[in-house]
Amino acid sequence: MTPPRLRLVGMCGLAILAGCAGPKSDIGWHGQEQYLAVYRMGTLHTTLPPDVPVHSVIAAAEMVLERRGYTVTSTDATDDRGHVVARPNDGRQISKVNITSRLVDGGTAISIRTYPGGHEHVARDMLERMLTRLGH
C-alpha cells in the first residue's frame, strides 16, 4: 500500500473503534429520596436501603403492574430474592415485564426489564410508582 492509502485505512480503523464504545448507560434520579437508577442494556437498575424488604418491593411491583393494566403471570418472593412477571392485557408493543429484587451488600436491588428490546421510559415510570407505594 502506498502511504496515503495506509493513512486512510488507519483513519477508518480509528473511526470504527470510536463508534464501538460499548453500551450507553443512562442515569437518572427517582423518588422523594432521590435514588440513582441506571438504565443499561435494556434493564433499569437501582438499590434501595437495606430496611426495604424484598417482599415489600415485590408487592409494590405487583400493585404497579396491575394498576397499569398488566396481568401478573408469575410471582415469587423469599426473604432474599423475588420476581414478578407480567403481560399487558391489550396488544401493546411491550409483551412482557420482568421485575426482580434481591438483597445485596448495602441494600435491596431492583431490576426492571421490558421485553422485547427494553423501554426505558416505561421502566422508569414503573420505578417511580413503586417508590411512591414504598413511601420513598
End-to-end CA distance of the chain: 64
Domain of 121, in residue numbers: 24-134
pTM above 0.85, yes or no: no
Q: Is residue 13 part of a domain?
A: no
Give the mean pLDDT of the chain: 82
423501554: which residue's cell?
Answer: 119
Q: Is residue 75 part of a domain?
A: yes
Work out the pLDDT band at 26, boundaries 50, 70, 90: confident
Tell whether the model's pLDDT for residue 45 goes beyond 90: yes
pLDDT of residue 20: 46
Residue 96 CA to residue 85 CA, distance in Å, equals 7
**For the chain, how many structural domains are there in total?**
1
* Tens digits of residue pLDDT in 109-136: 999 999 887 889 999 999 999 999 999 8
Q: Is residue 2 part of a domain?
A: no
Q: Is residue 7 part of a domain?
A: no
Q: What is the mean pLDDT of residues 84-99?
A: 85
Q: Is residue 1 part of a domain?
A: no
Q: What is the mean pLDDT of residues 63-91?
A: 92
Looking at residue 29, which CATH number applies to its domain?
3.30.310.240
